[in-house]
Amino acid sequence: MPELSNCPKCNGIFVKTKFREICENCWKEEENAYDTVYKFIRKRENRAATITQVVEATGVEEELLLKFIRTGRLKLTQFPNLGYPCDKCGAIIREGKLCENCADELRQELDTYHKEEERKKEIENREKAITYFAVEDKIRPRN
C-alpha cells in the first residue's frame, strides 16, 4: 500500500511503494549512475575491474555500486572481480551474506549451542526419571 514518506537521499516528500524506496528524482539519478557503471564494466578491458577501480573510473559511490550488486542488477558471474562485503567481517564475497570463515564460526557456535541444549534436556530427563514416593500412613478413626 503506497504511503507518503520522505526520501532518504534528498529528504523530499514522495509516495513510497514496495518497488521504490526513493523519490522520482533520486531514482533517475540512480538509473543514470547504473547506466554509467554498466557502460564502463561492459567493455571487455574493464570486466576484470575491482569495485575500487569502478568507483574511481565512474565517480559512482561505492555504496550505490554495492546496492546494484546486492539487488542483482549487476551479475557477478559476468564480472569476476566484483563482490560485496560480508555482513559480519566486511570481507569481499560473491554470494550469500557471510564469508566462509564467518559462516564456519557461526556453524560452530550453533553446534555448541545445540550440544548445550541437548545436555540440559538430558539432565532434566534424568531428574524427571528419579521419582520419590512417600508412603502415607492411613489414620483410622477410633470406634
Does 3-85 carry CATH code 1.10.10?
yes
Q: What is the pLDDT along the chain (143 residues), one digit of tens a residue?
A: 678 889 888 988 888 887 888 899 999 999 999 999 999 998 888 888 888 899 999 999 999 998 888 888 888 888 888 888 888 998 888 888 899 999 999 999 999 999 999 999 998 888 777 666 666 666 566 65
Q: Which three cell numbers stand for residue 127?
A: 531428574
Enter the pTM of the model: 0.65
Q: Identify whether the C-beta of residue 83 lies closer than 8 Å to the C-beta of residue 93.
A: yes
Gyration radius (Cα) of the chain, Å? 30
| Spans of all domains in the chain | 3-85, 97-138
